[in-house]
């Protein structure tokens, strides 16, 4: 059950936190600001990842090749270069892609 519904687009949510974050896509609210450069973000984790640009921290390392990344999601995407995983499939032709952007462009 998803009792929270966005008045702007109708998307529904079961968790209040996810609903609040989603609402920011409509309001443009970006309450998390980098103290180093002033750039603002709608989600706290995006600020955390951004701050690693200033510090150079890359805590996520590929076990296969040793390459490191500042964002866990980029590591997950990178690992597909080793595994060959292509989780995004076109419903029309069946062609698969390793990244959502590939499917979107297709």
β-pairing, 68-69 vs 4-5, is unpaired
CA dist., res. 56 & res. 35, Å (int) = 16
pTM for the structure as a whole:
0.73
36 by Cβ neighbours in 10 Å (0-12 / 13-18 / 19+) ranks as exposed
pLDDT tens series, the chain, 106 aa: 889 999 999 999 999 999 999 999 999 999 999 999 999 999 999 999 999 999 999 999 999 999 999 999 999 999 999 999 999 999 999 999 999 999 999 9
Architecture of the domain made up of 60-105: 2-Layer Sandwich (3.30)
């Amino acid at each position: 059950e998803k009792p929270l519904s966005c008045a702007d687009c109708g998307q529904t949510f079961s968790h209040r936190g996810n609903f609040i974050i989603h609402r920011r896509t409509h309001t443009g609210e970006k309450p998390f600001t980098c103290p180093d450069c002033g750039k603002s973000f709608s989600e706290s984790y995006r600020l955390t990842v951004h701050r690693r640009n200033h510090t150079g921290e890359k805590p996520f390392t590929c076990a296969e090749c040793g390459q490191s990344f500042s964002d866990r999601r980029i590591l997950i995407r990178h690992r597909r270069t080793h595994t060959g995983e292509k989780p995004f499939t076109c419903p029309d032709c069946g062609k698969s892609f390793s990244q959502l952007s590939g499917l979107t462009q297709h």
